[in-house]
Structures are given as C-alpha cells and as structure tokens.
A and B are shown apart, each in its own frame.
Chain A
Amino acid sequence: MKEEDRLQERPPIEDFLRMDRIPHIWCPGCGIGTVVTSFAEALKKSELDLDKVAILSGIGCTGRVAGYVKLDSIHTTHGRALPVATGLKLANPELKVVVFSGDGDIAGIGGNHFIHAARRNMDILIICVNNFNYAMTGGQVAATTPIDANASTAPYGNFEYPFSLPYLAEASGATYVARWTALHLRRVTKSIQEALGKRGFSFIEVITPCVTLYARRNRLGDGLNLLKYYYEKSEIQHGADTRTLDISYQGKLIVGKFVDKEKPTFLDCMNEHLGKVLGDKYQPYGVYHDGD
C-alpha cells in the first residue's frame, strides 16, 4: 500500500473515537493508544449498548482518554475519577461504568478512593495504565516507580517502596484482577472483554512504555526497547499469588489474571441488608434485568 493511501485509510476504531480531537497528545512509542485500541475492540466484542457505557478519567496522560472516546464521559480532577464514577453508577445503576486512568491518578493522589471503591465492591471496571511515573507533568517519582529507577524528582533513583497494584486491589476487595503489558494486546482485549461482562470491582493494570520521560531518564531506549523488555521479562502466571507480584527495576514482570471471583456488589449488599431490616417496606434499588 502506498504511503498516501495508508494515510487516507480510516482507523479501524474510528467510530469509537472523537475524530475531531485527533491527533492525540500521546508521544510516539507511548502505550496508552494501544490500550485504548484494546478497549475499543473489547467493547465491540462485548456487544454492549454503547449508550449505556460511561467512561471516566482523572488527570494525566491517560486522563485524556475520556476526551477522545465517543462515549458519555467525564474528565474529572486529579485522583477523583473513582468517587465520581461511584456517584454515576449509583445514580444510574444501569450504566456500565469504566474508569480509565493512570497509576499516578489511581494509586497516587487517588489511592484512598481506590481502596474504598474496592472495599465496597462497587460495580466499576478500572483500566489502569501504569507507566511508572507522573508523565504528564514531566516524569516525577510516583507511587509505582520501581526502586532505583530515576525520575525528575528522584534524579539519583527512587528509594521509596512502590505499590504492587494487583496486590493492593485484591487486598482491598477487588473481584477481578489482571495485569498485562502493552505487548500483550490480545490478552488486554480479552481481559477487558471478560471484565466488562462481570459485576463488581474489576481492576486491570496495563504496564506501558513512557518513552519521553521514564525511558529517556533511565536510558532505556525507545518504545520498541521497552516492548522487548516486556517480551523478555514477562511471564504469564494465571492465578499467581498477588503477594508475589512486586516489580523491581527492569526486573521480571509477572502478568496474567490473578483474581476472578464473585461477591455481592455494594448495591447487592445494600438491597439485601435493607430488605432484611425493613422487610416489605423496602423497594430494592438499581435492580435491572435483561429485557427491562
């Protein structure tokens, strides 16, 4: 295919994007766009009614997703996507609510909301793009930066313990937990599709290259070099104990689906409890059935 023909070609997920907002702001080699593509694919395959899917982002590079996808979306403030998503879900339980945001947003400034949404088993899917730093503001050290990795506010390396996000998610109460890298696109798609079909708090971490900041500051090369690292150092271990998933600097990346269980959601618990206490006086809230 000729170059100009290729440029004319419509992107396969065009229907899913606000094309007037494209080109996007993400750097060449960044992994966020590929995760968005996976999400679009998963949505298509899930055959969900797109009018009933809402997506929320916080602030940061991944935070821009809410502005690019052609779905009802809210671009919230830094760290607050989850409480806003909780409000959205509870006001309209019929919606499939997805939070699409970065590690700094979800595990850093929004960490408190993360553990509490998981604790309540809110019926929300979180796709967390983890690039190991606060990329939008210039690559500062984050709650996920591996020990010894450099960042703009840790110029000689990080010495703080990072979070292992799948462990945090499971310990807090999540019912679906998976981790992949930007290399595992088909698996990311499959995981998202699977989680979209589930009820409860689902968490998918996708480790992606941040070429401009994390890779450059650590002299790790370009996006391809990082994908090679994922290729060489990632190991699929479905059902692995989430306590074993720590990520060391350029070390092994254990990926896979770690948790997939059923547990009553926040609304299930509320309806059950109040039904028990109030008896016939209580009208269950937010119960929808197919064909309603």
Chain B
Amino acid sequence: MSKFVTLNGNQTIGEAARQIDPDVIAAYPITPSTAIVETIAKFKADGLISGEFVCPESEHSAMSLCIGAASAGGRVMTATASQGLALMWEMLYIAAGLRLPIVAAIANRSLSAPINIHGDHSDTMGARDSGWIQIYSENCQEAYDNFIQAFRIAEHLDVRTPVLVGLDGFIISHSMEVIQVEDDAEVKKFIGEYKSLYPLLDSKVKMTVGPIDFTDYYFEHKRNQLEGIENAPQVIEEVGKEFGKKFGREYGFFEGYRLDDAELCIVAMSSAAGTCKDAIDELRSEGKRVGLLKPRIFRPFPHQRISEALIKMKAVAVLDRSSSPGAFGAPLFTEIRSALYDYEERPKITNYVYGLGGRDIKIEHFKEVTDDLEKIAETGKVEKVYSYINLRE
C-alpha cells in the first residue's frame, strides 16, 4: 500500500532508488545533490539495496563507471548537479551514443564562474544537445514519480536512451514535502525486469562497444541514434498514462493550469511553476484570463503539443531559468518561438530570464509579467523580446 511520508527532494530520489534497486549506483558528492548519494549509501549499508554502490573520484569517473556497468547489461543510475554534470559532459554524449539507458537525477544548480551553489537550469540546459531525454519536476512528488518513470522510458526497447530528471537545487532538493510513496512491490512491478539487448557480460557474443567510426558510417550511426529519442514521445505518453492508472497521478508532456479559457499564458518549468499557480489564482480573482503551461519534457521537445496549446493565446511569456549567451533568447524560448513559426496565426511572445543562481521569483513577479502580457495583447506589440525578472541593473 502507498503511504504518505515527509521527505525532501533528495530523499525522495533516494527512496525511489531503494525501491528500484538498480544493479549499479555510482555518484560523487556535490551540493545540492549529495544527500541523494548519502541516502543511498545508508540504504546500502543497512542492506536495503542489493545493487553495487560505488564512490568514484569524480563525476567524470562516475558517469564512466555507469557507462561500463550499463554496457555490461546492468540497470544503472547516478546523481549530480552543476559542475558535476558539466564534468560528465564528455561521457553524457557517449552514454547517449551507445544507447545506454542510464538514469541520472540532477539537482539543478547554476554553473561557475562565479561560484554559486543555488538553483537554476544552466547545468541541464548545457547538456541539452547531449542526446539525453530531459524531464523536469515541479516538486518532490513529481521528482519521485518522474524518477520511477525515467527507468521505464530509458529502458524501453524502442528508446534505449539515457534520461535525466531535474529537480531544482535547494528549492526542491532540500525542501521537505509530504509525498505519496508507493508500495515497494508495486514500484518494482511497474518498473519490471530490465534485460539489456547486447550485454557485454554475454560470454557467447564477442563485441566491442564504441569503436572508431569515421567518414564511412559515423553519420548514419548518429542518425540512427536519433531514432531512440524520436520514439520517446509515444513511450513517455504511454508510461505517463500507465503511471496514472496504477498510482493515480497521470503525466503528460506538460501541465496546463487554468489554460482552457486563458488569453495570456506564462510558460515556466520546475519549481517556479508552483509559485506561478498561486499567482494565477490571484490574477484570476482579479478577472485576468491568464494561465500557466509547465513543460515537463524538454528533450525530446514536444513542439507540436505545446504549439497547439499556445496557438490560441493572445500573448505568451516564456520564463527561462538559464541564459544562452549570444542566442536569440534563452533555451525554452527559442524552442517555443521556433515551434510556433509554422502557424500563420500565432501569439505574440516574449522571453524573461529569471532566478539565476537561486534568485527568488515571487508572486509579484508573475503579476508584473502578466501586466506586460496585457499590454502586449492590447497593443499587439512586443517592446522587449528579452528581459530579466528581479535583477538589479
């Protein structure tokens, strides 16, 4: 039977990891994801996890170790954040290129320099072209649910692509929340047995993983790699629905909040969406027809579904918790703006960067954004395509 437990974001990932009990867990300490590893270490020491738990000497080694273990045919996970994910960068591409279904929990944190340990999405956005599927969580419950689903998605034979699950550093990773933890046996049943297609431990087949592939076939193989992520949407949808059927919390590509009759829309991912919902309730009581679209899946980017949800809006504000220096807008914005291009009638759209290095975003800020949206809807003009929230200039 499921039970309600008070856990913080890191502990929820640890709890999910205990229930999933991967064959190999390898991770290096880094704020704010360290407690995930510590929770797992304690479970391991108490005999509650049967898989191997390793403390390598760096994140680069942790991901390398995961790649080795996954190549051997194991179910594998890691956890990291920020510089740790950045240090894994080389190996992230290799995990994806080798189609190894590794799952990583990322307590989203800003990148140096200057050094900052607080939450933003710079780390995972930096990995957005690495070939990993990316899922973002609004709260501890979603982090738990997403992490469990991540294994099903990653290991699906049509997908076989690594998945990372983001939870905002400190805001979610260190916040206590009452979450519904499902029954161990039910989680295990939901995840199912993992059987690798080409395990290196199969002594009958001799195989080399990741050999040289020059001008002759590299291009074709990189194209083939895309099939996994191209097949992912269907699997993500199926798994989200099945999860809902089994545990009562259904998941899709995004969540709409008071979106049906909205004319103005704020797009925001992860923990900021929670604050935004409160802001929208207040704005609605003032008679403003504003809604929230909270993307859950960022890779593969659900461009069609999100466009269809936004197309009838008068004005859309995309809020990014990372920046993309020199680009025409931040990552989420460029995706959405590009997705809307094919429609003749499309909403006016504007981009805000917020919360870098853990800077707060509050209800009043969403109200300011809504004021801007009203003005855009009224005049039909976007005066500033790119601006910042709660920044001293």
Residues of A within 8 A of B (CB): 59, 75, 77-79, 108-109, 111, 134, 136-138, 140-141, 143, 152-156, 160
Contact = CB atoms under 8 A, between A and B. Distances in A.
Contact of A111 (B30, B42, B57): B57
A59 B55 CA distance: 18
What 3 A-B pairs have minimum CB-CB distances, sorted nearest first?
Answer: A137-B29, A153-B41, A155-B45
Nearest to B115: A75
Given A137-B31, A140-B37, A153-B38, A79 B112 contact: no
A140 B29 contact: yes
A156 B45 contact: yes
Contacts of B31: 136-137
B173 to A, nearest CB: 13
Nearest to A145: B55
Contacts of B45: 154-156
Given A109-B57, A134-B29, A154-B55, 16 more contacts: A77-B83, A77-B112, A78-B58, A79-B58, A108-B58, A111-B57, A137-B31, A138-B29, A138-B34, A140-B29, A140-B55, A143-B57, A153-B29, A153-B37, A155-B45, A160-B55
Nearest to A74: B113
Nearest to B58: A109
B136 interface: no
B58 to A, nearest CB: 4
13 contacts: A59-B115, A78-B58, A78-B83, A79-B58, A108-B58, A109-B58, A137-B34, A138-B35, A152-B41, A153-B29, A153-B55, A155-B45, A160-B55
> How extensive is the interface on chain B, given as a class?
10 to 19
A108 B37 contact: no
Contacts, number: 48
Given A75-B115, A153-B29, A155-B45, A138 B83 contact: no
Interface string B16-58: 0000000000001111001101100110010000000001011
Contacts of A111: 57
Which one of B29, B34, B37, B55 has the highest number of Cβ atoms from chain A below 10 Å of its Cβ? Answer: B29
A108 B62 CA distance: 13
Contacts of A152: 38, 41
Given A77-B83, A78-B83, A140-B29, A108 B57 contact: yes
A59 B58 CA distance: 13
A140 B34 contact: yes
B57 A140 contact: no
Which one of A59, A111, A143 has the highest number of Cβ atoms from chain B below 10 Å of its Cβ? Answer: A59
Contacts of A140: 29, 34, 37-38, 55
Interface in B87-103: 87
Contacts of A154: 41, 45, 55
B117 to A, nearest CB: 10
Which one of A79, A138, A140, A156 has the highest number of Cβ atoms from chain B below 10 Å of its Cβ? Answer: A140
A279 to B, nearest CB: 41
Nearest to A111: B57
Contacts of B30: 78, 137
Given A79-B58, A137-B34, A155 B41 contact: yes
B28 A141 contact: no
A109 B87 CA distance: 11
Nearest to A140: B29
Contacts of A137: 29-31, 34
B38 A138 contact: yes
Contacts of B37: 140, 153
A143 B57 CA distance: 8
A108 B61 CA distance: 11
A59 B117 CA distance: 12
A161 to B, nearest CB: 13
Contacts of A160: 55
A141 B83 contact: no
B72 to A, nearest CB: 21
Contacts of A153: 29, 37-38, 41, 55
Contacts of B55: 140-141, 153-154, 160
Which one of A75, A141, A153 has the highest number of Cβ atoms from chain B below 10 Å of its Cβ? Answer: A153
Contacts of B38: 138, 140, 152-153
Nearest to A110: B58
A75 to B, nearest CB: 6
A140 B58 CA distance: 13
Contacts of A156: 45
A160 B55 CA distance: 10
A266 B35 CA distance: 42
A77 B55 CA distance: 20
A79 B28 CA distance: 13
Interface string B279-306: 0000000000000000000000000000
A269 to B, nearest CB: 29
A79 B31 CA distance: 15
Contacts of B58: 78-79, 108-109
A281 B8 CA distance: 66
A142 B115 CA distance: 22
A153 B34 CA distance: 10
Interface in B63-115: 83, 87, 112, 115
B186 to A, nearest CB: 28
A242 B210 CA distance: 41
Contacts of B41: 152-155
A172 to B, nearest CB: 16
Nearest to A155: B45
A115 B37 CA distance: 28
A154 B42 CA distance: 8
B123 to A, nearest CB: 13
Nearest to B27: A153
A226 B35 CA distance: 27
Which one of B31, B34, B55, B87 has the highest number of Cβ atoms from chain A below 10 Å of its Cβ? Answer: B55
A111 B57 CA distance: 9
Nearest to A79: B58
A243 to B, nearest CB: 22
B160 to A, nearest CB: 30
